Amino acid sequence: MKPRRGAPGPRDLPRRRGGARGRRPLAAGLLALALVAPAAAPTHAGPLGDTAVGVGEREYTLTPYRRTTPRGIVRFNVTNFGEDGHDLTVIGPDGRQVAQSPEIKAGARYALRVKLKRPGVYRLVCTIADHSARGMQAKVRVTSR
Ligand SMILES: [Cu+2]
In angstroms, how far is CA 91 from the centroid of its own chain?
A: 22
How many angstroms is it from 35 CA to the middle of ligand 1? 49
Topology of domain 51-143 in CATH is: Immunoglobulin-like (2.60.40)
How many angstroms separate the alpha carbon of residue 9 from the centre of ligand 1? Answer: 89
Quick check: pTM over 0.95?
no
Q: List pLDDT tens digits, range 90-144.
A: 999 999 999 999 999 999 999 999 999 999 999 999 999 999 999 999 999 999 9
Residue 72 backbone zone (phi > 0: left; psi -120 to 50: alpha; other: beta)? left
| Average pLDDT, rounded, for the chain | 80
Q: What pLDDT, on the 0 to 100 scale, is given for residue 145?
A: 79
64 has a pLDDT exceeding 80: yes
The domain spans of the chain are: 51-143
In which band, very low, low, confident or very high, does the pLDDT at 62 lie, cut at 50, 70 and 90?
A: very high
- What is the CA(95)–ligand 1 centre distance, in A? 19
